[in-house]
Amino acid sequence: MLRSPTLKLQPTFFPVVDHNRLRLFAGSANTLLAEEIARYLGMDLGPMIRKRFADGELYIQIQESIRGCDVYLIQPTCNPVNDRLMELLIMIDACRRASARQITAVIPYYGYARADRKTAGRESITAKLVANLITEAGANRILAMDLHSAQIQGYFDIPLDHVYGMPVLINYLASKQLSDIVVVSPDVGGVARARAFAKKLNDAPLAIIDKRRQAHNVAEVMNLIGDVTGKTAVLVDDMIDTGGTISEAARLLRQEGARQVYACATHAVFSHPAIERLSSGVFEEVIVTNTIPLAEEKRFKQLKVLSVANVLGETISRVHEDSSVSSMFR
- What residues act catalytically? 211
| Residues 220, 121: Cα–Cα separation, whole Å | 24
Beta bridge partners of 306: 289
- Neighbour-count burial for 127-152, b at 16+ CB within 10 Å, e otherwise: bbebbebbbebbbbbbbbbbbbeeeb
**Looking at 133-280, which runs of residues are DSSP E strands?**
141-145, 160-163, 181-185, 206-215, 218-225, 232-240, 260-268
Report the SS3 class of residue 315.
Answer: helix
Q: Report the relative pairing of strands 48-52 and 58-62 from DSSP bridges.
A: antiparallel
Helices (H), 241-308: 244-255, 274-278
Beta bridge partners of 50: 60
Helical packing angle, 31-41 and 309-320, nearest 10°: 50
| Residues 155, 113: Cα–Cα separation, whole Å | 11
| C-alpha dihedral sign at 214, 217, 218, 220 | positive
**Looking at 78-186, which runs of residues are DSSP E strands?**
102-107, 141-145, 160-163, 181-185
